[in-house]
A = this chain, B = another copy of it.
Amino acid sequence: MLNVCLLAPGGVMPFYNRFLTSMVASCNGSMVLVDCGEGTQILLKKLKWGLKNIDVICFTHYHADHIAGLPGLLSTIGNSGRKEELTLIGPPGLKNVVQGLLVITPELPYDIKLIETSDKLVEYIHKDFVLNSMPVKHSVDCMMYSLEVMRRRKFDKNKAESQNIPMKYWNRLQNEEIIEDSGIIYTPDMVLSDKRKGLKVSYCTDTRPLPEIVDFIKYSDLFICEGMYGDDVYAQKVEDTNHMLFSEAADLSKKGKVEEMWLTHFSPALQDPYEFLDVAKNIFKNSVIGEELMVKELKFTD
């Protein structure tokens, strides 16, 4: 099971009634956070999933509205009793940015591991999470992320027995191990079912819509995507500032065949996103306006 929460749907600057966008995902007691603007720790506390188990924080980019909450959050995670290493992942420049921000929280009771993503698609596995990052197009280096929880294949007893696989290897094969014994090679495929659909959530902000995004988000159960403006009259503005319209986010969602898309990163000028929900829905039916602490529980299906 994968629990996902959009902490808030705001872009550019935080307001009392609209905090800044970021996403947290939780699976089997481990949490991954994507982006950490000012106020993120306030929302995390309101969410009540805890802060101590945040193992990984990914950054799309280093504009203040996506990272200014980091020193406060790291400090509060320290106060929560965390002792285990915490991993930060982000585009080139991460080390410099973290070094700068940590000047006000110099003594943390845990280690920080830094992973700078490159200009290619990068996979990072942490516990049950498979994290992928891909560069997108903003005014500065910017990444988008997907988080997947893979589903283990089913053990097929009939298959194992009909091929005379020694029972002593069943468990190891089930754990995707390849075994050689007296010249015979036993592979996991011999005892396991076909691959089963896992769970996938993708998170994308700030960027122009790129063709590569369609492949990257393919078949996501949930796609959280920026919609800086709802009205298509802002087409030139998003082109100039490297952002997206509701219609562009919906178009990506449709092409990417995602299950559901949540709009986020609203411009402070966009007072009522619901006014433009139909613009998105007319292109991609399962478009949803992002709200503070909006949660989705993703479960494996057969």
Size range of the interface on A? Answer: 35 or more
Q: Please indicate the chain B residues that have their CB under 8 angstroms from the CB of A16 in the complex.
A: 42-43, 45-46
Which residues from 243 to 278 on chain A have a C-beta closer than 8 Å to any C-beta of chain B?
Answer: none
Residue of B nearest to A15 (CB): B45
Q: Give a binary string over A57-100; 1 marks a CB under 8 Å from any B CB, 0 the rest.
A: 00000111101110110011001000000000000000011011
Q: Does any Cβ of B come within 8 Å of A184's Cβ?
A: no
Distance of A131 Cα from B119 Cα, bound (Å): 50
A38 touches B103 (CB 8 A): no
Stoichiometry, as copies per complex, reads 2
With A38-B69, A41-B13, A68-B68 as contacts: A97 and B101 at CB distance below 8 Å:
no
A105 touches B14 (CB 8 A): no
Q: Please indicate the chain B residues that have their CB under 8 angstroms from the CB of A65 in the complex.
A: 72, 75
Q: Does any Cβ of B come within 8 Å of A104's Cβ?
A: yes
Q: Does any Cβ of B come within 8 Å of A290's Cβ?
A: no
Q: Which of A19, A38, A71: most chain B Cβ within 10 A?
A: A38
Q: Does any Cβ of B come within 8 Å of A227's Cβ?
A: no
Which residues from 106 to 133 on chain A have a C-beta closer than 8 Å to any C-beta of chain B?
Answer: none
Distance of A67 Cα from B102 Cα, bound (Å): 12
Q: Does any Cβ of B come within 8 Å of A39's Cβ?
A: yes
With A64-B71, A71-B64 as contacts: A12 and B79 at CB distance below 8 Å:
yes
With A97-B104, A100-B99, A103-B100 as contacts: A41 and B64 at CB distance below 8 Å:
no
A42 touches B64 (CB 8 A): no
A13 touches B79 (CB 8 A): yes
Minimum CB–CB distance from A243 to chain B (whole Å) comes to 15
Q: Please indicate the chain B residues that have their CB under 8 angstroms from the CB of A67 in the complex.
A: 104
Minimum CB–CB distance from A65 to chain B (whole Å) comes to 7
Minimum CB–CB distance from A215 to chain B (whole Å) comes to 31
A residues with a Cβ closer than 8 A to B are 12-16, 19, 37-39, 41-43, 45-46, 62-65, 67-69, 71-72, 75-76, 79, 96-97, 99-105
8 A-B residue contacts at CB 8 Å?
A12-B79, A14-B41, A16-B46, A62-B104, A96-B103, A100-B101, A101-B101, A101-B104
